[in-house]
Structure 1
């Protein structure tokens, strides 16, 4: 169609060159050429608009992708650390997967301008427009519009990233809960463990180890009784049950430290008594800034199960 328009314009221009005509006739002739050219431009620009709309959909989807990646990076750059380091690995992998799925944005096409004409123009101006239209028509015939790009589908990659981010953030919150928590928090969580019957926090006036709030010592220590241990095996005097005085042998304890390093140092100290008979410290492991201890009077299976229940209660986000 464009080539036919160009041919028509060429014939009209040739006819005008051969035949002399008045300014009014020249204006009418150029008006016809302008109308034909502008119609061709309108058709071209309509195709350009459709192409640019497709490119715009890619830009919109990439904006969503950029925001989601930014949210994930902001979370990683935060002060918190995850309880489960694997959640950070998963999040970074999900980010890389989304980055690799990103579609490059094609450049937008420019629309062609139309030509304007009015009856007040001189013969020279009209002839100049005739030449301009001939040149533009040839250029328009050479322009090819690429096939419109498809809108990218990031749904699966975005869902994977959002799930990984949620798991990471949950893990960070869980670790925050067991980083130098208050006694009251630990006590409240221990109350949800089915086999634990009695709980008591040490004070500076009632602390068998004498380490409460001292340099390198714990900032809190909560002893508990566990009903899997027969009270008759504890050699209680006069039937009295002072949970703190009975100590970890009656169930276990949660020792709260200010830093993970202090908790690790305490855990290493307790490890020195492993397998030492009646001096054995029972099971012990570091969770955040806590040392979770269970009685040596429990079987290995009971120690493992009780520890898992305690840790689950402590990191649960309610």
Structure 2
């Protein structure tokens, strides 16, 4: 009896995506790989939530601008959230954008590659953020 195998496309974890981005963005540094126990949004592994999440810092963000924020705050650089589908990643980005409309300081750049949502600090200039846009395209 022959066994047929079905190949699934390789899906990066958030930590792997951050490592891939770091190759082209030397200012980026992984600061937090989230687990179910320390996910502040309580979305990791839950229905409609992400399958993995990691936070990163970017040395181009001025420390004076993020004083008092935790090391994992999106404002310090950003985060990567990996979803099962592109639709789920898009829905999460839309949700964040909806919240940001009522809190202008909470805006951020979003780049989506398949089920991967790259969230980038609004404290980076548009030119600096383009590094993440280019990096997301290669994920």
SS of 1:272's equivalent? helix
* Structure 2 CA distance for aligned equivalents of residues 198 and 183 of structure 1: 10
Does the Cα contact within 8 Å between 1:270 and 1:284 map onto a contact in 2? no
SS of 2:17's equivalent? helix
* 1:206 matches 2:38: yes
| 1:252 alignment partner, one of 42, 55, 78 | 78
Following TM superposition, by how much is the alpha carbon of 1:252 offset from its aligned partner in structure 2, in angstroms? 0.7
Following TM superposition, by how much is the alpha carbon of 1:243 offset from its aligned partner in structure 2, in angstroms? 3.1
2:124 is matched with: 298
Does the Cα contact within 8 Å between 1:198 and 1:226 map onto a contact in 2? no
* Structure 2 CA distance for aligned equivalents of residues 304 and 187 of structure 1: 16
Does the Cα contact within 8 Å between 2:93 and 2:117 map onto a contact in 1? yes
SS of 1:311's equivalent? helix
Call closer, same or farther: CA 1:195–1:221 in 2, change over 3 Å. same
TM-score, length-normalised on structure 2?
A: 0.79
TM-score, length-normalised on structure 1?
A: 0.37
Q: Point out where structure 1 has 5 or more consecutive residues left out of the alignment.
A: 1-78, 81-175
Pairwise mapping of residues 25-64 of structure 1 onto structure 2 (< 5 A)? none
SS of 1:197's equivalent? strand
Greater CA radius of gyration, 1 or 2? 1
1:56 is matched with: none
SS of 2:99's equivalent? coil
Deviation per CA, 1:53-100, whole angstroms, max 9, x where unpaired? xxxxxxxxxxxxxxxxxxxxxxxxxx99xxxxxxxxxxxxxxxxxxxx
Higher strand share: 2
1:277 is matched with: 104
Following TM superposition, by how much is the alpha carbon of 1:184 offset from its aligned partner in structure 2, in angstroms? 4.2
Question: Larger RCO: Structure 1 or Structure 2 (Cα < 8 Å, ≥ 6 residues apart)?
Answer: 2
Deviation per CA, 1:93-126, whole angstroms, max 9, x where unpaired? xxxxxxxxxxxxxxxxxxxxxxxxxxxxxxxxxx
* Structure 2 CA distance for aligned equivalents of residues 287 and 184 of structure 1: 15
1:289 is matched with: 115
Call closer, same or farther: CA 1:268–1:183 in 2, change over 3 Å. closer
1:98 is matched with: none
Count how many residue pairs are aligned between Structure 1 and Structure 2. 131
2:4 is matched with: none
Does the Cα contact within 8 Å between 1:198 and 1:243 map onto a contact in 2? no
Higher helix share: 1
| 2:12 alignment partner, one of 158, 181, 201 | 181
* 1:311 matches 2:111: no
Q: Point out where structure 2 has 5 or more consecutive residues left out of the alignment.
A: 1-6
